[in-house]
Structure 1
Amino acid sequence: MIIGATPDPSRYAYLAAQMLTSYGHEIVPLSIKTGTVSGVEILDLRQRPAVEGVDTVTLYIGPQRQPEWYDYILSLKPKRIIFNPGTENEEFEKMAEAQAVEATEACTLVLLRSRQY
C-alpha cells in the first residue's frame, strides 16, 4: 500500500509504484489526489477504504499530515510501515511498534534495489 500515491512522474511515490510493480508486488495506491499510477486507480484516502491483507504500508506523506491517518493505517493491521525520507515520525513509529507493526525508517526504492524489500 502506498499512502501519498501520485500520478506525477516527478515524485518519489510515483517511482515507488513503478518499481514495486516491476518487482512483482501488487500495489494499492491511496491519496487525496486522483488519477492512476502503474495502471492502478488511486483510491481516495479520505474514504478510508477497507483493504484486506496489507503487508507493507509505504508512506509518502509528511509527519505533519500523518496524525489524521494514524487510526486508519493501524486498523489495516500491516506487518510493517516504511517511513520514507521526510516522513519519519517518532510518535507514529512508537504507536505502530506498540501494536506489533514493524516501523522502518528507510527508502522503498533503495530497499527494492538492494533486494531488502
Structure 2
Amino acid sequence: MKRTLIIGATSNPSRYAYLAAQKLRHYGHPVLLIGRRKGFALGEEINTDKTDWKDVDTVTLYINPSHQPEYYDYIVSLNPKRVIFNPGTENPEFKDILIDKNIIPIEGCTLVMLSTGQF
C-alpha cells in the first residue's frame, strides 16, 4: 500500500480532499493529513505543521498553487516517489523542481486514479 500525504486536508466531508482521504483508506492506503486548520478527518488528526514523516510514497495536493511555495522544500525533503497535482493545483514551477529532484509529478485526479486502478 502507498502511504499518502494529503496537503490541503479538511474535516468537511463535501470537499474533494476529504473524499480522497476516505477513498484512499477504503483501498487500504495509509493517509497522513496536513491542512490549514486543525481538525479530524475519518478519525485522523489534521496537522497544521510540517511533520517529519518517513516513508511517504505519494503526496497529493489540494491547495492552490499560490500556497504551494511554502511546501516546496518540505515535500522535497520527504522524498516521495510522486506528487499528484489534482485539478486546480497544477503548478509548472513546482513540477520543474520535482523533476530536478527525481520526483515524478502527475497532473491527475486522485479520486479518478483510485477508481480506475491507476493509483
TM above 0.5: yes
2:60 alignment counterpart = 58
Residue by residue over 1:64-107, the C-alpha shift from the partner in whole angstroms, topping out at 9 and shown as x without a partner, is 11011111111111100000000000000010011000000000
2:118 alignment counterpart = 116
**After TM superposition, which residue ranges in structure 1, 4 or more long, deviate above 2 angstroms?**
none
Shift of 1:43: 1.2
Distance across 2 between alignment mates of 1:67 and 1:41? 23
With normalisation by structure 1, the TM-score equals 0.96
State the SS of the aligned residue for 2:31. coil
**Aligned pair 1:4/2:8, yes or no?**
yes
Shift of 1:109: 0.1
Q: Give the alignment partner of residue 31 of structure 1, picking from 9, 15, 35.
A: 35
Shift of 1:57: 0.1
Aligned length: 115
Distance across 1 between alignment mates of 2:21 and 2:41? 7
**Aligned pair 1:22/2:26, yes or no?**
yes
Give the alignment's Cα RMSD to 1 decimal: 0.6
Which ranges in structure 2 are unaligned for 5 or more consecutive residues?
none
Which ranges in structure 1 are unaligned for 5 or more consecutive residues?
none
2:87 alignment counterpart = 85
Preserved CA contact (<8 Å) 1:30 1:43: yes
Distance across 1 between alignment mates of 2:105 and 2:15? 23
